[in-house]
Structure 1
Amino acid sequence: MKTLKRNLVVGLFSIIAVYLFFLSRSGWDPMHAWNRAFADVSLLLLLLTLVIGPLGKINRFFISYRPWRREMGIWSALTAIIHVYILFDGWFQWEPIRTIAGFDQATGQLFFDSGFTLANLLGLIGLVYVFLLTLISNNKSVKLLGKPAWDYVQQKSSILYILVVAHTAYFLFFYRIGNANWFQKPFLVFVIILFLIQWGVFFLTVLRNRAKARKALVNQD
């Protein structure tokens, strides 16, 4: 029941957030507005799953929210899949070549852009990765793989984060569609905050371990 409730809460949050993100781009072509809305919410949920763990090491208050990471990861995957579906249906028109070659909607011409190609390849690799992580985000997979192996795979979500950030950064700053994207500054803020928190936790852990080591030496004396 707890898992169901968490899914309902995160799902409701995701749906509302997607709609608000869509409304924030009322001047865009609807296809691109929906596409970006699902992509941004997917990224937001991924960031939340990655930040909860480090925050729990800073303050015990956040430890109680660790179980929510699984549901956030699942909904991050779902919104990412919908994001890709919208692109294939509305922009790529189910022609795989358009994922690695730019497409001018006005003229119908294909053109090669190395940045566009690389960004889309990173996005597709990330999609496969998030799909696999979602498939094993259940108790049966934990039993099948074993807890150490399952933890190892889940902890590699940092690879997914790098793929997603690189993919998103290109389309936010180097590939413009219509009006400027307001999500540029929030994106930078989120990335910097996560970076500072992760390294802050690293140094905090080092200091705590050194303090424990000194205390152990004092107790031995």
Structure 2
Amino acid sequence: MGLLMRHLIIGSVTILLVYIFLTSRSEWSDMHSWNRAFADVSLIFLFITIMIGPLSRLSNLFVRFLSWRRELGIWCSILALLHVYVLFQGWFYWEPIRLIIGVNQETGQLTFDPGFTLANLLGSIGLLYLFLLALISNKKAIELLGKRGWDYLQQKSGTLYILVVLHTAFFLFFFRLGSYNWVQKPFLGLLTVAFVIQWIGFFKTVFKSKKRRQ
């Protein structure tokens, strides 16, 4: 399948998922609905990108999707950028200090919240990682960095995953809006599935390695 077709498919899925998340939170303000919709779909794409590798070790059915990770990573980056843009436009008003100190959800006034500051710091670092990985997802980057250097940076996707999970967990469970956020349970389910699949993939890889040595 061609590169353009992959982007068209993922783009169409993106539009559908964003629409679903938006309509599921119709009682929220537009700013919060859009910012969370972009963030949640970005998280889903990151989760899929991370899981394709371990799944390909468990079944050859998933090997064909390894080449899709580049396009998924690009769309994940685009959605993360839209998430940040909506926040700066409608919540931080392009004042970076609001990102660091925090804004009271009721009054809109600056209020220091250590958890808010830490969560945004993790999210900012994760965003930098995400765009770095997106930028090097091409053949020219491999030629420039060398295969070993390129592989080293690609392996940082695990670090990115942890940063994004911690960032998301704070805003889902410790800094919630007034209404219930239905994404909480699916988020925990995805974490559990990811944990189990990664460890199964690890043990299967070790088992195959030992079997070859015998």
Aligned identity (percent) is 58
Partner of 1:65: 65
Higher mean C-alpha deviation, range 127-136 or range 187-196: 127-136
Aligned-residue offset at 1:106:
4.0
Q: CA deviation at 1:91?
A: 0.3
Structure 1 equivalent of residue 132 of structure 2: 132
Q: Who is 1:168 aligned against?
A: 168
Structure-1 residue corresponding to 2:109? 109
Tell me, what secondary structure is at the counterpart of 2:27?
coil
Matches within 5 A, 1:1-221: 2-214=2-214
1:52-107 deviations in Å (ceiling 9; x for gaps): 11111111110001000000000000000000000000000001111012212543
Letter in 1 for 2:134: T
Once the two structures are TM-superposed, the CA of residue 177 in structure 1 deviates from its matched residue by: 1.4
Number of residues of Structure 1 aligned to a counterpart in Structure 2: 214
Cα RMSD between the aligned structures? Answer: 1.2
Query: Which stretch of the first structure deviates more once superposed, 51-60 or 146-155?
Result: 146-155
Distance in 2, Cα, partners of 1:185 & 1:213: 43
1:120-149 per-position Cα deviation (integer Å, ceiling 9, x unaligned) = 011111111111111111221122112221
Unaligned runs of 5+ in 2: none
TM-score norm. by structure 1 comes to 0.93
Output the amino acid matched with 1:78: I
Q: Greater CA radius of gyration, 1 or 2?
A: 1
Residue 5 of structure 1: CA displacement? Answer: 1.2
Answer whether contact 1:45 1:76 (CA < 8 A) is retained. yes
* Equivalent residues of 1:80, 1:127 under 8 A apart: yes
Q: Output the CA distance in 1 between the equivalents of 2:133 and 2:207.
A: 33
Structure 1: distance between partners of 2:106 and 2:205: 55
Mapped to 2, the partners of 1:77 and 1:57 lie a distance apart of 26
1:33 corresponds to which letter in structure 2?
S
Work out the CA distance in 2 between the residues paired with 1:137 and 1:131: 10
Listed one character per residue, the Cα deviations across residues 176-197 of structure 1 (whole Å, up to 9, x for unaligned) are: 1131110000000001101110
Runs of 4+ in 1 over 3 A off after TM superposition: none
Q: Does structure 2 conserve the Cα–Cα contact (< 8 Å) formed by 1:102 and 1:112?
A: yes
CA–CA separation in structure 2 for the residues paired with 1:107 and 1:170 = 21
Unaligned runs of 5+ in 1: 215-221
Deviation by residue 1:132-176 (Cα, 9 ceiling, x = unmatched): 111111221122112221122112100100100000000000001
Provide the TM-score with structure 2 as the length reference.
Answer: 0.96
More displaced stretch, 12-21 vs 157-166: 12-21
Report what 1:217 is aligned to: none
